[in-house]
Amino acid sequence: MAQGLSLNIGVNFIDAKHYGSDGALQGCVNDANAMNSLALGQGFKAQILLNENATRENVIRSINQAAASLQSGDIFFISYSGHGSRVPDTNRDEDDGMDESWCLYDAQLMDDELNVFWSRFKAGVRVLVVSDSCHSGSITKPGEAEVIYTQQTPRFLPLKQMQEAWKANEAFYTGLMRDLPRAAPAIQASVRLLSGCQDNQYSYDGEKNGAFTTQLLQVWAGGRFRGNYQQFHQKILARMPAIQSPNHSIIGASDPQFDQQTPFEI
């Protein structure tokens, strides 16, 4: 019998000592709690990391533990809600010269690092990533990003703050990238991403939940949704404004059965 593990991350505020401000948001913890409840309702063994507990060390440890324990036919569901950001692409695998990242409480976790983590999952494992953060359209794999500004509250660090945070911690981040494999990792699992926006867009915050998570939960309808991942994505997309278009993408191994499953099915 297949098993499902879930890790749900919500970061309403970040460490001002590292980032320069606490980047306060409102809906990210609520998003993580909602994803955690959804996972538990689907039979996943679920873990939740919020705010100061959502550190790089804790998140990386949990991903690696899942990769070590899951076998072919199992599923790992990871959700992230918080700021997304960008750092200079030091290994030159991005056309725009920038890597995308999740802003965990104490430091950023970069897309190149996530790509390595996915390569640690065994063949036949399904990985589902739900990311309600800015520039998350290719957070599972490097891609292009540009800034679009509106008067709403985006889950993205302002450009000046992002640049200052990089400058203050440049040695730390360049050291992380230097330790990664030079060649792109071979990913044997099937890694599916449902993200809050495209790489050239922001994901927007809300008082209760993020804009993307709100629509995802409404389409999910407490488990009454019937359809596959593509249909799930299309229904969410149809409910979103033009400034925020959720993405659905797959990297790694092809898994036709995963393609046709109902979302969050173990």
Catalytic residues: 83, 134
Helix intervals (H) in the chain = 16-19, 28-41, 56-69, 111-118, 159-168, 170-178, 211-220, 229-239, 256-260
Q: Are 147 and 96 in contact (CB under 8 A)?
A: no
126-132 and 108-110 strand pairing: unpaired
Q: How far is CA 52 from CA 11, 56, 126, 151, in A?
A: 8, 10, 29, 28
Q: Are 112 and 180 in contact (CB under 8 A)?
A: yes
- Closest by CA position to 56, among listed 176, 218, 180: 176
Structure tokens at 216: 């995802």
Of the chain, the end-to-end C-alpha distance in Å amounts to 9
Residue where the block lists tokens 């509250």? 153
Q: How far is CA 184 from CA 80, 112, 181, 187, 262, in A?
A: 23, 9, 7, 9, 30
Structure tokens at 213: 């998570």
- Closest by CA position to 93, among listed 127, 71, 74, 116: 116
Cross-strand partners of 192: 128, 250
Structure tokens at 198: 């495209």
Q: Are 190 and 127 in contact (CB under 8 A)?
A: yes
Going by the DSSP 8-state scheme, the letter that residue 186 receives in this structure is P
